[in-house]
Amino acid sequence: MTHRPFVIQARELASTYSTHAGLPPLAGLGSFADAVQPGLSVEESVRRHKHHHYALRRLHQLFIARITSEPLYELKMAWSHQGWLCAEYVAALRARVGEMREPPLGLEKVPHPALELIFDELLAAPLPELLLGLYETTLPAVREALQRHFTETHLLADQPTRRLLRFALIEFDEILDYGRKTIAALVTPENRATANQFLETLRSALASVGGTDGTSPNGTTVPPRLFSGEPWRYNGVPQRDARFPDPFNMGVNAEVFLYDSLQPTNAKVLMMYFKRLREIDVPEMMSSIITETPGKPWGYYRDMTRQLWDEARHAMMGEVGFAAAGVDWPSKVPINFTWSRGLNTQLTPKERHAVLYFIEQGLMPKTGKRHEWETAILSENPLSATFQDFDWADEVLHARVGRDWYVSDMPSAHAAIAYGDACWSKVLIDWDSWRRDGSTAHANWWPAAYQQYCERNNLTPCPQVASYNTTYQSIRADLKDISASG
């Protein structure tokens, strides 16, 4: 430390200084002994912010882009969460740079070609390599850079930066903990051996950059590419794991059941758990919009990613609901992917956004989200009431996100809705041909799921519920002819 003689003397002098009545000094930020130590310059702090910004933006891209083609349900959910955290920190970093005598310019610049290589490689890597490269190599390096910035910048002069970094560090530790447990569960010693060369590539790229913050670069060398030699292409065809054995099944029309006033509310709660878990298809579909829509202001990606994460939470609410109801959903409830698959493979990103908006604004009338919440209240199921209450609130937020980023791009609100309806109508959800070609038998899974629920909860099955048999063959989820999410 070049300032050592200065600091020694300053500390000595400051040690004779005290606050009134021994009150905590400096608004509680830290001690005088630490505060007399000079910190980073504005220029250096901004430089590091730009490096963190680049790393987090690429991490966001990676988490979101891999959701759809990743079969494992838990990873889809975790990446929805981690992608959203990255989107939030990217927004915070952009805002902070804008406060430091810098317009938030130059943020799109790649700080070092070897840093770019790291994220290109991760994006294209197979799962075991991705898990090891992310959670054991790259994310710890990003965490170290955030920690270094926190430690080296001035606790008083650059306090807004320190606050931002403190929150980021807490959440990075949670992500790293998730990563360790995931690797312990999924990665075999053989996977690790195979990943060796890949991890060596990442480590040597990191050494070249000098940590993800570029504080100790050792050159401009960029190691050869392993997985990212060819330009990466997004794969929008949703993949599911073994707990989704019948992904084309559209044999049970949830909406017709929910709006049938003669059906009992406890069975409707069960149907709402199905609807919630089926929302897994929204992150799969929004992944494609976010990934395939470049060049928008960061607010777009932040809002869309928040919505994506909300939808993942809604899916997990369904999972929790089934667990609480004693229903083994993997064997009793086929959660389909027909909506995300149809939209991702047949529509452009803008058309998908239009469909999403059309559906979500349709959830707002009295028959929509309010009805679901009231049903949960009437059923006296407090868990479902909590879930539907927040599902409703989140969906109101999503309608606003749609207005801000989709409707604002259309000639009028009316045209935006009409276009969404038209786009959804042209998606080929071919109920009959899937049955003919053997993709699914559209089996009516409802009676068996309901029976298990009754058995586990000591209830006498209601014959009218048990005999429910209406499919999506001719009635769409918005109760217009011909399924989707909500």
Residues that bind Fe ion (CB under 5 A): 279, 311, 314, 391, 395, 398
CB of 279 to Fe ion, least distance (A): 5
Measured from the CB atom, is 284 or 395 closer to Fe ion? 395
Residue 330 exposure: Cα atoms within 13 Å on the Cβ side: 6
Q: Which 3 state secondary structure label does DSSP give 481?
A: strand
Q: Identify which of residues 440 and 485 has a Cβ nearer to Fe ion in the complex.
A: 485
The half-sphere exposure of 226 on its side-chain side, counting CA atoms within 13 A, is 21
Please, what is the minimum distance in Å from the beta carbon of residue 372 to Fe ion? Answer: 9
Tell me whether residue 222 or residue 272 sits nearer to Fe ion (CB atom): 272
- Residue 20 has a CB neighbour count (10 Å cut-off) of 5
Helix axes 349-362, 382-405, angle to 10 degrees: 130
**Minimum CB distance to Fe ion smaller for 55 or for 401:** 401
For residue 370, what are its two tokens? Answer: 């309010």
Residue 161: name the closest of 93, 60, 105 by CA.
93
Beta carbon of residue 259, minimum distance to Fe ion (angstroms, whole number) = 17
Tell me the DSSP string of 145-200: HHHHHHHHS-TTTTHHHHHHHHHHHHHHHHHHHHHHHHHHHH--HHHHHHHHHHHH
Nearest partner of 245 among 441, 78, 66, 428, judged by Cα: 441
Q: Which of 393, 391, 394 is nearest to 320 (CA)?
A: 391
Of 169 and 399, nearer to Fe ion (C-beta) is 399
Q: Which is nearer to Fe ion, 158 or 284 (CB)?
A: 284
Between CA 371 and CA 360 the distance in angstroms is: 14
Least distance CB 157 / Fe ion (angstroms): 42
**Please, which residue, 110 or 324, has the CB nearer to Fe ion?**
324
Q: State the Cα–Cα distance between residues 197 and 76, nearest whole angstrom.
A: 27
Residue with smaller CB distance to Fe ion, 284 or 391: 391
CA dihedral for 364, 366, 372, 377, sign (positive or negative) = positive
Q: How far apart are CA 269 and CA 271, in angstroms?
A: 5
Count of alpha carbons within 13 Å of 61, Cβ hemisphere only? 21
- Residue 149 or 398: which CB sits closer to Fe ion? 398
d(CA 355, CA 43): 45
> Among 129, 119, 240, which residue's Cα sits nearest to residue 183?
129
Query: Which two structure tokens, joined as six digits, stand for 485?
Result: 């999410």
Q: How far apart are CB 310 and Fe ion at their closest, in Å?
A: 6
CA–CA separation, 336 vs 155, rounded Å?
52
**Minimum distance from residue 455 beta carbon to Fe ion (Å):** 28
CB of 485 to Fe ion, least distance (A): 6
Residue (136 or 395) nearer to Fe ion, CB: 395
Taking the complex as a whole, how short is the minimal distance between the CB of residue 115 and Fe ion, in angstroms?
34
By C-beta, is 81 or 398 nearer to Fe ion?
A: 398
- Tell how far CA 111 is from the center of its chain: 25
CB of 268 to Fe ion, least distance (A): 16
> Shortest gap between Cβ of 373 and Fe ion (angstroms)?
11
CB of residue 368 vs Fe ion: minimum separation in angstroms?
A: 10
With a CB cutoff of 8 Å and minimum separation 6, the contacts of 4 are: none
Q: Crossing angle of helices 265-278/298-325, nearest 10°?
A: 140
Amino acid at 161: T
